[in-house]
Chain A
């Protein structure tokens, strides 16, 4: 079975641009969460979606938005990119909103120049 897949794996953007990151959860999993991991730190929670509804939002500006599609895949959008948005963006998949396992994709490494 395929694990959590994220695309693209690497991305370079210019300040002020917009970026869309994509995540496909494990088949049968209905919950997707997004995390940002800057160098040297643990991941920070951005969003959780369960059954296509937003169930949680972390302390991130409104430039960050996300959505979940009927097939449970998800997109993370970031507008007006700043240098500080450079990070590894991780998507986590779980069967339900209250979970005992959460599996991560390989991440998208975003560099803003």
Chain B
């Protein structure tokens, strides 16, 4: 069964606008972590933000924030004030303790920022 679902088609975003990338997850593990990564065309996977299942506050890192809705099993990434360099694939991933702490990734969201 798919643990991470990212179903949005490729997105075009105007520079300086905000964009929200959807991610839903499936787990019965009470202790888990959610990650977002950015993968530009060069291939490297760049860590953006982390949210723990017990964290009370939504995680924020600079222009990145995670809209964590635990009851809905949703962990959407919000990028504020988009920049041209934000054009990339974005992956949502989950770590479960029952899964030997492996990261399970979604299929990714393609974002293109246009001037």
Interface size on A, residues (CB 8 A): 28
Q: How far is the CB of A38 from chain B (nearest CB, A)?
A: 11
Closest residue of chain A to B97 (Cβ to Cβ) is A98
Distance of A88 Cα from B93 Cα, bound (Å):
17
Closest residue of chain B to A109 (Cβ to Cβ) is B43
Distance of A80 Cα from B15 Cα, bound (Å):
47
- CB neighbours (8 Å) of A106 from chain B are 42-44
- CB neighbours (8 Å) of B105 from chain A are 35, 42-44
Partner of A58, one of B33, B43, B102, B108: B102
A33 contacts partner chain B, Cβ-Cβ < 8 Å: yes
Distance of A20 Cα from B93 Cα, bound (Å):
27
Q: Which of A50-96 contact B (CB under 8 A)?
A: 55-58, 88, 90, 92
Asked if A56 meets B47 with Cβ closer than 8 Å, knowing A100-B33, A106-B42, the reply is no
Distance of A42 Cα from B37 Cα, bound (Å):
11
Distance of A45 Cα from B4 Cα, bound (Å):
14
Partner of B43, one of A44, A88, A101: A88
Asked if A100 meets B50 with Cβ closer than 8 Å, knowing A43-B45, A56-B99, A106-B42, the reply is yes
Partner of A33, one of B33, B52, B103: B103
Closest residue of chain A to B43 (Cβ to Cβ) is A107
The answer to whether A45 and B43 have CB atoms under 8 Å apart is no
Interface contacts beyond A48-B102, A104-B44: sample of 6 additional A-B pairs, CB < 8 Å, sorted by A? A40-B107, A56-B101, A56-B102, A99-B33, A103-B47, A107-B45
15 sample A-B contacts, Cβ–Cβ < 8 Å, listed by A number = A33-B103, A42-B4, A42-B91, A42-B105, A45-B102, A45-B103, A56-B99, A90-B45, A92-B45, A98-B97, A99-B95, A100-B50, A100-B52, A104-B47, A107-B44
Give me the interface of A with B, judged by CB distance under 8 Å.
Answer: 33, 35, 40-45, 48, 55-58, 88, 90, 92, 97-107, 109
